[in-house]
């Protein structure tokens, strides 16, 4: 015991000596770039010192939390151990400050709720915010109790502003020590205490610089994932919102004074980062552009990674192609990366071309290791498809749907039934956009349709939010209008496990993120517009 204490003291002595030397070399600089480097080195050295005291500390997903991460668990089953409502008896609306909610809520063991928002609301208009990026337009993390009362220390603001990348679009990750991990569109991953105090922040390769908005913005959009050995996985996402295209065109039309947009487009890409969750230090990066056996090209992904039964990090990526003057996602692949950063497999396998579908949704993984991932016809001319893959990435079967898009991820009942929520993006008539809910059985070599809701007809506008399953197999899912038009409303549907309707509850806005369920049967529903979290039971 004494030897161990002396060893730790010796390590601490040398780390403190390193810190003192670092200060001598860096503290005199007045250059702004040098100051940024000084800040980075300060966080690095503090993280090294911090690691001395937690060298044997293993962090886990919060075991006592009823909904600790995106779609509940590392397999993304979307299934809760608690029961939800059989009807809506009460509803509370918690208004947030911001321009909208893209992210999804999580619920801690003491029924506190955390969710990210798009913007801090420091400005009276979106154009004013875009014209003044350096004044701070950071997304916020909001924390409140199950009755909607704000928690001390929240909303948390990283104080790192940006131009168009102002959102926290992921669901936070709750750890067993009470801390909260989340990614943000500024290109950073954060870990904060349950009272909002910063523990660490870790940058991607290309953090956004609001003083130079034409730089790459490698955003952290998908929700983070915790694997073994304190490994935190985070999939970055770069989409060129500053080059020509619909986003830039819409902003320029609404805000003619904004002048920083580029005239040429940049290829989209994603990378998988592996960090030490204790201190934020990077362990490795998987870049598909360097993976020559699967194509060796930049690829981009939106879906959250899931943890396979063998410990692999499983996620989907898409190739992009230039459409007139901007890039759009097209064909897709599924990757499995081992904890040491090597690729275990890719689907379709090496030597084969990618799927003729785009993949927007995240995988859901069964207890037996089957991987279910939804694919969409990127031309919007055909149907959508659900793939069932084995634990080693071989196709077991696929099932085709008449709708052309699946943006929501599958959810899994306890008996293995797969719940899929679809949408159809009609190219010429927005009023013909619709979706449905399907239940499929996995028979090993084929999928069987058990039921569809509604049995005849479709649900207006379809689904972006993924289904949520309660302990009794009841299914909750919210639909939304597409495209997103202010003033339109969505619907919260409750279904029994046989597809019969429990309730149809009209919301006072529309839903972009996923739902969460608390231990007391309360459902938490994020409304993109207005910026409101609705609590129903």
Output the six-digit token pair for 374. 């939804």
pTM for the full predicted model:
0.89
For β-strands 306-307 and 384-389, DSSP reports them as unpaired
pLDDT of residue 372: 98
> What are φ and ψ of residue 41, in 5° steps?
-65, -35
DSSP state of 408: S
Cα–Cα distance, 366 to 387 (Å, whole number): 13
Number of helices (H) and strands (E), helices first, in the chain?
4, 35
Cα–Cα distance, 354 to 346 (Å, whole number): 10
The answer to whether residues 186 and 262 touch, using CB atoms and an 8 Å cutoff, is: no
The answer to whether residues 474 and 493 touch, using CB atoms and an 8 Å cutoff, is: no
Q: Which residue has the tokens 């799927």?
A: 355
Give how far Cα 137 sits from Cα of 29, 113, 350, 410, Å. Answer: 28, 23, 43, 34
pLDDT of residue 56: 58
What does 414-435 look like in DSSP terms, one character per residue?
TTS-EEEE-BB--SS-GGG-EE
The residues of the chain that CATH labels 2.140.10.10 are 67-536
Output the six-digit token pair for 359. 């993949």
Cα–Cα distance, 58 to 73 (Å, whole number): 18
Q: Which residue has the tokens 């899929």?
A: 420
Strand ranges for 10-158 from DSSP E: 91-95, 106-107, 113-116, 140-144, 156-157
Q: Is 485 exposed, middle or buried (0-12, 13-18, 19+ CB in 10 A)?
A: exposed
Output the six-digit token pair for 220. 């952290």
Contacts of 342 (CB under 8 A, 6+ apart): none
pLDDT of residue 127: 79
Is 3.30.450.40 the CATH classification of the domain at 67-536? no
Rounded (10°) CA dihedral 515, 365, 346, 406: -40
What does 183-205 look like in DSSP terms, one character per residue?
E-TTSEEEEE-TTS-EEEEEE-S
Contacts of 503 (CB under 8 A, 6+ apart): 85, 86, 87, 88, 492, 493, 494
Distance of CA 189 to the CA centre of its chain: 12
In a 3-state reduction of DSSP, which class is residue 314? strand
Per the document, the length of the chain is 537
The answer to whether residues 358 and 378 touch, using CB atoms and an 8 Å cutoff, is: yes
DSSP state of 152: T
For β-strands 140-144 and 113-116, DSSP reports them as antiparallel
In a 3-state reduction of DSSP, which class is residue 303? coil
Q: What is the pLDDT along the chain (537 residues), one digit of tens a residue?
A: 444 444 445 544 544 554 544 444 444 444 434 434 444 444 445 445 454 444 458 999 999 999 999 999 999 999 999 999 999 999 999 998 777 888 999 999 999 999 998 876 566 677 777 777 655 557 889 999 999 999 999 999 877 765 565 688 899 999 999 999 999 888 889 999 999 999 999 988 766 555 555 445 688 889 999 999 999 999 999 888 778 888 788 888 888 888 778 888 888 999 999 999 999 999 999 999 999 877 889 999 999 999 999 999 999 999 999 998 899 999 999 999 999 999 999 999 988 999 999 999 999 999 999 999 999 999 888 899 999 999 999 999 999 999 999 999 999 999 999 999 999 886 666 556 789 999 999 999 999 999 999 998 888 888 989 999 999 999 999 987 555 555 667 899 999 999 999 999 999 888 889 999 999 999 999 998 788 999 999
H-helix or E-strand spanning residue 48: helix 32-53
pLDDT per residue as tens digits for the range 227-263:
999 999 999 998 887 788 887 888 888 888 887 788 8
DSSP state of 514: -
Q: Tell me the CA end-to-end span of the chain in Å, nearest whole number.
A: 53
């Amino acid at each position: 015991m004494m030897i161990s204490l002396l060893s730790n003291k010796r390590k601490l002595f040398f780390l403190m000596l390193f810190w003192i030397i670092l200060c001598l070399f860096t503290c005199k600089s007045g250059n702004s770039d040098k100051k940024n480097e000084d800040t980075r080195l300060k966080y690095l050295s503090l993280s090294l010192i911090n690691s001395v005291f937690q060298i044997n500390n293993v962090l886990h997903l919060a075991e006592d939390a009823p909904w600790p991460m995106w779609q509940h668990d590392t397999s993304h089953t979307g299934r809760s151990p608690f029961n939800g409502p059989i009807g809506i008896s009460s509803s509370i609306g918690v208004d947030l400050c911001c321009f909208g909610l893209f992210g999804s809520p999580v619920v801690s063991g003491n029924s506190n709720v955390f969710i990210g928002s798009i913007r801090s609301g420091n400005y009276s208009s979106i154009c004013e915010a875009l014209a003044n990026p350096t004044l701070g337009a950071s997304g916020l993390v909001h924390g409140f109790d199950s009755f909607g009362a704000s928690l001390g220390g929240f909303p948390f603001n990283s104080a790192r502003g940006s131009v168009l990348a102002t959102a926290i679009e992921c669901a936070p990750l709750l750890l067993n020590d009470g801390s909260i991990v989340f990614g943000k569109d500024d290109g950073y991953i954060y870990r904060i205490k349950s009272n909002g105090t910063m523990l660490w922040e870790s940058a991607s390769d290309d953090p956004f610089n609001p003083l130079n908005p034409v730089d790459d913005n490698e955003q952290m959009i998908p929700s983070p994932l915790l694997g073994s050995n304190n490994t935190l996985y985070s999939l970055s996402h770069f989409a060129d919102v500053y080059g020509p295209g619909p986003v830039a065109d819409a902003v320029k039309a609404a805000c003619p004074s904004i002048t920083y947009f580029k005239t040429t487009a940049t290829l989209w890409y994603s990378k998988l980062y592996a960090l030490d969750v204790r201190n934020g230090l990077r362990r490795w990066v998987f870049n598909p552009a360097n993976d020559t056996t699967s194509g060796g090209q930049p690829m981009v992904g939106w879906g959250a990674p899931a943890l396979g039964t063998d410990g692999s990090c499983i996620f989907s990526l898409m190739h992009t192609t230039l459409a007139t003057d901007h890039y759009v996602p097209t064909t897709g692949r599924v990757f499995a990366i081992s904890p040491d950063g090597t690729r275990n497999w890719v689907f379709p396998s090496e030597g084969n071309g990618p799927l003729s579908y785009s993949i927007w949704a995240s995988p859901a993984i069964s207890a037996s290791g089957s991987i279910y991932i939804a694919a969409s016809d990127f031309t919007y001319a055909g149907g959508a498809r659900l793939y069932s893959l084995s634990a080693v990435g071989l196709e077991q079967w696929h099932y085709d749907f008449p709708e052309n898009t699946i943006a929501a991820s599958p959810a899994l009942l306890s008996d293995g039934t797969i719940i899929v929520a679809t949408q159809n993006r009609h190219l010429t008539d927005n009023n013909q956009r619709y979706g449905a809910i399907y239940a499929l059985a996995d028979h090993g070599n084929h999928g069987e349709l058990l039921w569809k809701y509604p049995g005849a007809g479709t649900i207006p506008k379809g689904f972006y939010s993924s289904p949520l399953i309660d302990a009794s197999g009841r299914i909750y899912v919210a639909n939304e209008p597409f495209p997103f038009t202010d003033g339109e409303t969505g619907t919260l549907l409750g279904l029994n496990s046989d597809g019969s309707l429990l309730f149809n509850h009209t919301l006072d806005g529309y839903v972009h993120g996923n739902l969460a369920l608390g231990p007391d049967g309360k459902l938490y529903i994020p409304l993109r517009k207005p910026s409101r979290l609705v609590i129903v039971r």
